[in-house]
Each structure stands twice: as structure tokens, then as C-alpha cells.
Amino acid sequence: MTHFFKISAILFFVTLAVVSCKNNDDDVVADFKAENRKALGTSGEDLLSADTFTKLRIEFLFTALTRPKLETINAIEQFLEARVNKPGGISIIETEIPAPNNAPFSLDEIRDIEDEYRTQYTIDDDIAVSVFFANGSSENDTETSFTLGSAYQNTSMVVYRNTLFNFVGGNNNVTLAELETVTSEHEFGHLFSLVNLTNDDIHAKYHLDTVNDKHCVIEGCLMFFSSSVTRSQMETRFKNRSQGNLPVFDDLCIEDLQAKGGK
């Protein structure tokens, strides 16, 4: 694994460089980011197969207090190596950013944060994904339900890390690293275009949850787990499970991924 760490000071100069490019040539900057500003699910095959992109870069964006656990980073890398065909390898880039102070966040605000601080974009045969571990919650949270994460563009997702941290504060039989992992992997499933996001799943007829769109009907599957849940649903999901026994893709999800070029 190639492993990089960029501090905010470096990001300051990267941001200056991007602003300078904008002033000189708006079209160049727009083209540079265009490959990573497509609709959710449209890059499923690009992420899974080696037909167009043989390498994959994952950039973790986080603040000083929301850096994902090392166990989380290792687990996500193993998850990706098991499911994507990238003979050129998978690289992990860690980028610390200044803490945004406008939480709870709307998705538009999350997009703005990504646009300001993301440094890794798809180029040549190397496709890039941005994962922001946010220092706040979603504006859609209520007193009874909360959002763990959201995949919102073809290579973009947010994990509401503060929400995860608050959940594991009690006796909920799940660690922060495990919750970071299962949330991130679930959102990667959406980036892979599950469930039937682009109407090309081979098992869509009986597999797709028609009530909870973009999820499957197989209880226990990684994609059965909705990103917006109540506390009681979360507690039920992890109650009485053995340590380390986290949700994984069911057989139908795996077959759908393989049909798109994955493993």
C-alpha cells in the first residue's frame, strides 16, 4: 500500500495553486474535476473493473479530531482489495483539513468542503475517491433518527464521524473503528452502483428494497443497512453479535458487483 499524509499547511499551498489556476483558466479547472462530479453510481464499473482504470486512490479527509482509526483504514483497504480489480494497486492518502464550523451539515455544504480541500482527482488510468470524516452531523438528523454517512457523487462520500462517536459512547457492543468501517463500506457499495442505482443489477427484481430505495432486502447484508436509522435499530443490529462480525455483501450483491467488473 502506498501511504501518504498531508497536513493542512500543504493544503494551503495546494489551494492557492488551484485558485491561481481558476484565475487564469476556468475551463482547465472545470475539466480537471469533471470526472469526479458525475451522478452517484455512474462510476461503478470504473471503480470495480480494470477496463479503464487500473489504479485506485482513496483520499481520507479529516479534521484534527476526526481522523479515522488505523483499524478502519486497514479494514477498508482489505475490503477494497477483495472487491475491486485494480492491478496497478490501491493507494491511501490521508489529508488533515481545518475544522469546518458550520455543522450540522447539508449535503451542499459537504460538497463545498470537498471542493475546497480535496486534492486527489481522477487522472489517466488512476481513479480517485474522496471520503470525508466530518466533524459534525447531518442536518437531516432528528431526535429519533440519525444519518451515519452519505454517498453523493460518483466518487464522493461523507461519514458523519461525530455521530458515530456519540453512538458508541454507551454500551452498544460496537467500537468506533467497527462503525467507521461498516458505514464507509456501505457507502462504497453505493459508489459501486448498488443497489440497482443505474438499473443494471442482474438481481434487481427480487433483490431491491422498493420501500427503502438503493438498498437490498437481504437482512444482514451490508446493503440492507440503511444510512439513516433510529438508535433502537442500530442497537438491535449490533446486539448479541460476536466481536468483529460485521455485515458483509450477500451473495446477490457480490454477483451484481462481479457483473460490473468486480471480484
pLDDT, tens digit, 9 for 90 and up, residues 206-227: 776 666 667 776 777 888 765 4
How high is the mean pLDDT of the chain?
83
Check residue 190 and give its pLDDT: 95
For residue 49, pLDDT beyond 90 = yes
Sign of CA dihedral 179, 182, 186, 187: positive
CATH superfamily, with its number, for domain 2-259? Collagenase (Catalytic Domain) (3.40.390.10)
Angle between helices 176-191 and 70-83 (to 10 degrees): 30
Determine contact, residues 48/262, Cβ cutoff 8 Å: yes
Give me the residue spans of the domains in the chain: 2-259
Residue 223 near residue 195, CB atoms below 8 Å: yes
pLDDT band at 133 (very low <50, low <70, confident <90, very high): very high
Please, are residues 192 and 262 in contact by the beta-carbon 8 Å criterion? yes
User: Are 138 and 166 spatial neighbours (Cβ–Cβ below 8 Å)?
Assistant: no
Of the candidates 241, 188, 155, the residue with the CA atom closest to the CA atom of residue 76: 188
Q: What is the mean pLDDT of residues 168-174?
A: 67
Model confidence at 238, pLDDT cuts 50, 70, 90, reads low
pLDDT value of position 208: 65
Higher-confidence residue of 168 and 117: namely 117
**pLDDT for residue 2 is more than 60:** no
The arithmetic mean of pLDDT across residues 67-76, rounded, is 97
